[in-house]
Amino acid sequence: MGILRLSHVEVRCPDLELSVAYYTEVVGLIETARESDRVWLKGWDEQQHHSMILRYAPTYGLETLGFKVAEMSDLDEYQERIEQAGISTKRLAAGELGKGSGETLRFTAPSGHVVDLVHGMRQVGNMLPLHNPPPEPLGLTGIHPPRIDHVFLMCEDVDGATTFFTDVLDFRLTEQIVSDDGYQLVTFLERTHTPHDLAFVTGPNAAFHHVAYWVDDWNELRRAADLCAFHGVRIDAGPTRHGATRGWGLYFFDPAGNRNEMYTGGYWADPDREPVTWTEAEMGRAIFYYEGVVDQRFLTEHS
Ligand SMILES: [Fe+2]
């Protein structure tokens, strides 16, 4: 079965309380655990203990990201494959990374990002009963996306990072933006039959472009934009349409400067689907389909 989906991200923030207030009251995630330097949060419909960890740090950026695997044996198999690729790994027992954490295989990807493969994260339920549930719990606040969707990372060698994630970790390439001289500028990779669970864009190694949570439709993006404006959150782009993935998105920044997205739409991606290629000349339309251009700041501003 291998990797099931994106499990979580761990982001740095210099003012933990301010970030907790933003992620619980504006984004509307649910706090599930807390220690002096870390707070664990989840989307309301997620069964697992967390999809977001806020970590106190003097700066912003991505500390780690995690993918959920189906079986404990997947961790053994991937450990062997990753080490055969010349990358050292570390095993962490369930609970070692906080009370809710599962058994973890940790390594640093060629892109410079610290990646955890996780099995058996604590299950806490989705706030709905298992018998005759309503469609949504009462009393949610803010945007309240039901679940995490994808993560967008930066690295110097997008071709190399993409090859590692496809060859060693069994991701499938759905779309790519290719430069005039034949290099991959952006790649979109999936495990969930959606257009992307993970994407890479050219930039500094280990840099973080954004994490996206799912909302159910375009109207929810409009409501998310209303809430961002109301709370004085800096909106970066959208709501708009992506050419690549065919999704709709709204980008904004958390108080530390980490970019967030609310995302919806897209298509079903069968495993035998041929990847779509966008040319460098059409990169603007691939990213912002209506605008047809993407400013350099959007491509270079990161945490
Ligand atoms: Fe995105």
Q: CA-to-CA distance for 193 and 119, rounded, in angstroms?
A: 20
Pair 211, 197: CB distance under 8 Å = no
Strand 247-253 versus strand 235-241 pairing type:
antiparallel
Ligand 1 mean position, distance from CA 246 (Å): 11
Active-site annotation holder among 22, 23, 78, 251:
251
CA of 150 to the centre of ligand 1 (A): 7
Query: 147-300: what CATH class?
Result: alpha beta
Sequence-ordered list of residues with C-beta below 8 angstroms from that of 27, at least 6 positions apart, any chain: 142, 143, 144, 145, 213, 260
Q: How far is the CA of 212 from the centre of ligand 1 (A)?
A: 6
Q: Annotated catalytic, 261?
A: yes
The answer to whether 291 and 220 have CB atoms below 8 angstroms apart is no
How many A from CA of 210 to the centre of ligand 1? 7
Q: Do domains 3-119 and 147-300 have the same CATH topology?
A: yes
Please state, in angstroms and as integers, the Cα–Cα distance from residue 60 to each residue in 16, 90, 116, 233, 260, following that order: 11, 25, 19, 17, 13
- Residue 65 tokens read as 């990201």
Of the residues 46, 175, 190, 261, only one is catalytic, namely: 261
Sheet strands (E) in 109-233 = 114-119, 147-155, 172-178, 184-190, 198-202, 207-214
Distance 153 CA to ligand 1 centre (A): 10
251 is catalytic: yes
Output the DSSP codes for 216-268: SSHHHHHHHHHHHHHHT--EEEEEEE-SGGGEEEEEEE-TTS-EEEEEEE---
3-state secondary structure at position 39: strand
Is residue 210 among the annotated active site residues?
yes
What tens-digit pLDDT sequence spans the chain (303 residues)? 899 999 999 999 999 999 999 999 999 999 999 999 999 999 999 999 999 999 999 999 999 999 999 999 999 999 999 999 999 999 999 999 998 999 999 999 999 999 999 999 999 999 899 999 999 999 999 999 999 999 999 999 999 999 999 999 999 999 999 999 999 999 999 999 999 999 999 999 999 999 999 999 999 999 999 999 999 999 999 999 999 999 999 999 999 999 999 999 999 999 999 999 999 999 999 999 999 999 999 988 888
CA of 130 to the centre of ligand 1 (A): 32
CATH of domain 3-119: 3.10.180.10
Point out the catalytic residue in the list 150, 175, 190, 220: 150
Domain residue extents for the chain: 3-119, 147-300
Is residue 14 within 8 A of residue 118, CB to CB? The reply is: no
